[in-house]
Amino acid sequence: MILRIIKILKVLGIGYRIFCYLTHTFLSIQTVTLIPGDGIGPEISTAVMKIFEAAKAPIQWEERNVTAIKGPGGRWMIPPEAKESMNKNKIGLKGPLKTPIAAGHPSMNLLLRKTFDLYANVRPCVSIEGYKTPYTDVDLVTIRENTEGEYSGIEHLIVDGVVQSIKLITEEASRRIAEYAFEYARNNQRTSVTAVHKANIMRMSDGLFLRKCREVAENYKDVKFTEMYLDTVCLNMVQDPSHFDVLVMPNLYGDILSDLCAGLIGGLGVTPSGNIGANGVAIFESVHGTAPDIAGKDLANPTALLLSAVMMLRHMGLHGYAKKIETACFDTIRDEKVLTKDLGGNAKCSEFTADICRRVQDMD
Amino acid sequence: MMATLTKAFKPILGRQLGNTAKVFGAAVNSQRGKPTYPPPAKYGGRHTVTLIPGDGIGPELLNHVRELFRFSCVPVDFEVVHVNSASTSEDDINNAIMAIRRNGVALKGNVETNHTMPPNHKSRNNLLRTSLDLYANMMHCQSLPGVQTRHKNIDIIIIRENTEGEYSNLEHESVSGVVESLKIITRNNSLRIADYAFRLARDKGRRRVTAVHKANIMKLGDGLFLQCCKEVASGYPDIEFDSMIVDNTTMQLVSKPHQFDVMVMPNLYGNVVSNVCAGLVGGPGLVPGANYGRDYAVFETATRNTGKSIANRNIANPTAMLLASCLMLDHLKLHDYANMIRGAILTTMNETRLHTVDIGGQGTTSEVVQSIMRIIQSGGPLTTEI
């Protein structure tokens, strides 16, 4: 009796696998690794999955957890199932992960970056109609080198009371990020690329970065290349952000500037972000925090993760679905009837999601 | 005997010996005591101030300052020291440093740094700051009523560590194609700047000090800075202390700048934050900056721009440099002159017609300065001919 049940289950299992294979081949459904994350991560991931279902996007989600575990040899690493899934699917969508301050084990985001060699962080910042900020004409992209620079994590206590932190700039990484920046500019019809640096003070390190950018610019004559000091960029960005197009820079400046630009359009709750790695791996993420105070209360705003998912669809070439979902999202925000608390309304996350789903379905 | 000899020769050698004693004494005395500025050079009731014209718009703006001081009969004489940014020898800047050591106070324009020069050619401005140990850069960002900006009523004081951090100039190429740059954070300097920030907050009646850092990533370096700030904060229970990560800070500055009161931070973040704040209140032409050390003070514009593209075209905004000269007059305890000039500048700002191009008007630099001089003449006690 039991053996019969096991036999039936086995047949069903094999049948399921054949079904998956057939759908993948003939309906070109792509599998994407989904990392819900901590805090509000799970609820916003559910929201995004619902919206994608309503849009009938050909995406299948594979959920994985990336809590750090100590591997053999005492080094921290991400669980092997997560790594395997990412390497197989190549595309991932990630919710917010917790980062400990001044603790022993490395930040989770840093660990992911090192594992998949995610060298470029791309953040397009476009002003959202319907979400008013003092800046209305923002349309720029910040491309930040994500593996080295000031965040190399190499620090020493030289003597008691003196700490040295090493900023690493290599030729290889600088060249790679510059090439990505120009490729991105070309593929997305952007007119100019600006390198942001502080070579007057950090002559050798930023000087090397700048030299590599100049060399790569030689091969992309159709895209205009300019260089600007970090402080001048900050000054001009705050007064007139419409002057900027694509910005490429090392790690720390990128961190500060990309958050500055996010602040111009309304904060991290509405900003998408993508991390491009070597070997064709790309992980799109929402960059806001885990918001533990509102976790589980259905108050979260899924816009950031949704816009990152839209960025992911564009990266995969599914422009039709991307446009549909993005338009639905912007229409909901512009209408101002069903908005979550951080956008100025008092609707729940589920209501906001339902409104977007409805609009998506109405578009068909 | 040494004591009597020192006393006898004090008028001649005074400052030199005094400084030597201070250098040795510093190791023994607590570095956290209140700084005592030696009296600036005063002879015949007039002060002597070193003037470094710099490049770009520096020379023309400083000429306007001199003109204004001459017109208002301010008892300050300027000792002009030129620093040639194109020359590779460090004699020019060393002369300037010696002049500042002699006079105690300086007013300067920005000296351009050509970053295509080899790494041993250091930034002249940086060299000046580190040699004179001007450890605190203070910038007071205030919205001016006559200037149109996206955010109104901003009033933030930014205190930036001026000598170490990422600007340590310690770089090397360990392997071909790999460059390392060292960021140094020391306990002494962090305590010193935190102490300066809290004392300033107390003196000006401010209620909160925010430390800006990136300790979640640079755990040891910025962690040390943050710890020092916390230690100093415990000695000032009347002032609230909190901390914020630098990327969040820039985000908050562009959306909700009114939550900030006094901010203290290491060198590079200070550069970013001060430029963001200057942009928020209307641009680089409006905000003055001051660099204070234990013994010296150097005044300049807050964002330290050379302004090469607008040099010698009579369109630069003189406000920042003029307000910096007012800060200098306050430092020299010539408060009446400082208030008179500052009042005249603010009155001119309120007449929109007399804004320069960078803040949306069409006035020229000379028109603005003439207007200030006219206001001083109509209200002030004694002036020369316009």
Structure confidence by residue, pLDDT tens digits, B341-379: 999 999 888 876 789 988 888 889 999 999 999 999 988
Q: Do A204 and B276 touch (CB under 8 A)?
A: no
The pLDDT of residue B15: 46
The pLDDT of residue A24: 55
CB contacts, 8 Å: A204 with chain B? 119, 171-173, 179, 181
Residue type, A39: G
For the residues B251-278, what does the mean pLDDT come to? 94
* CA–CA gap between residue B316 and residue B111 (Å, rounded): 17
**What distance, in Å, lies between the first and last C-alpha atoms of chain A?**
49
Select from B192, B220, B230, B300 the residue whose CB has the most chain A CBs within 10 Å, as the one to mutate to test that interface: B220
pLDDT beyond 80 at B98:
yes
The pLDDT of residue B42: 76
Instruction: Report helix, strand or coil for A92.
Output: strand
Q: Which residue of B has its CA nearest to A240?
A: B279
The verdict on A102 touching B (C-beta cutoff 8 Å) is yes
The pLDDT of residue A35: 92
Instruction: Report helix, strand or coil for A96.
Output: coil
Alpha helices in chain A (DSSP H): 2-26, 41-54, 80-89, 108-116, 171-187, 203-217, 230-239, 251-265, 303-316, 319-335, 349-363
The pLDDT of residue A155: 92
The listed range with the strongest mean pLDDT (A150-154, A330-334, B48-52, B84-88) is B48-52
Q: Do A235 and B275 touch (CB under 8 A)?
A: yes
Report the top-level CATH class of A29-97+109-121+266-363: alpha beta
pTM exceeds 0.90, yes or no = no
pLDDT, tens digit (0-9, with 9 covering 90-100), for B143-165: 988 888 999 999 999 999 999 98
Alpha helices in B36-140 (DSSP H): 58-71, 91-103, 124-131
Residues of chain A with pLDDT under 50: none
More confident residue, B384 or B262: B262
* CA–CA gap between residue B120 and residue B22 (Å, rounded): 30
**Domains observed in chain B:** 42-113+122-147+284-376 (3.40.718.10), 150-281 (3.40.718.10)
Torsion sign over Cα A332, A337, A342, A347: negative
Q: How far is B175 from chain A (nearest CA, A)?
A: 9
* CA–CA gap between residue A298 and residue A175 (Å, rounded): 44
Instruction: Report helix, strand or coil for B115.
Output: coil
Which of A233, A237, A253 has its CA nearest to residue A139?
Answer: A237
Average pLDDT, rounded, for chain B: 87
CB nearest B188 (choices: A107, A161, A168): A161
- B324 with B363: CB under 8 angstroms? no
Enter the CATH code of domain A134-265.
3.40.718.10
- A257 with B298: CB under 8 angstroms? no
Where exactly does CATH 3.40.718.10 map onto chain A?
A: 29-97+109-121+266-363, 134-265
Q: Cα–chain-centroid distance for residue A217?
A: 25
The pLDDT of residue B88: 85
CB contacts, 8 Å: A151 with chain B? 217-218
Residues in CB range of B212: below 8 A, 6 or more apart: B243, B244, B245, B246, B249, B263, B264, B265, B269, B273
For the residues B300-326, what does the mean pLDDT come to? 93
pLDDT, tens digit (0-9, with 9 covering 90-100), for B326-344: 999 999 999 999 999 999 9
Instruction: Report helix, strand or coil for B315.
Output: coil
CB nearest B171 (choices: A204, A260, A267): A204
The verdict on A270 touching B (C-beta cutoff 8 Å) is no
Token output for B187: 């306990």
Q: What are phi and psi of B106, to 5 degrees?
A: -145, 155
CB nearest A234 (choices: B173, B276, B305): B276
A272: exposed, middle or buried (Cβ count in 10 Å: 0-12, 13-18, 19+): buried
pLDDT beyond 60 at B139:
yes
CB nearest B218 (choices: A165, A169, A172): A165
* pLDDT band at residue B29 using 50, 70 and 90 as cut-offs: very low
Q: Do A260 and B166 touch (CB under 8 A)?
A: no
Q: Which stretch of B5-9, B189-193, B240-244, B314-318 has the lowest confidence by average pLDDT?
A: B5-9
The pLDDT of residue B322: 96
H/E run at residue A155: strand A155-159
For the residues B87-102, what does the mean pLDDT come to? 91
The pLDDT of residue A20: 58
Q: Do B183 and A238 touch (CB under 8 A)?
A: no
CB contacts, 8 Å: B278 with chain A? 235
The verdict on A335 touching B (C-beta cutoff 8 Å) is no
Task: Tell me the residue length of chain B.
Answer: 386
* CA–CA gap between residue B35 and residue B31 (Å, rounded): 9
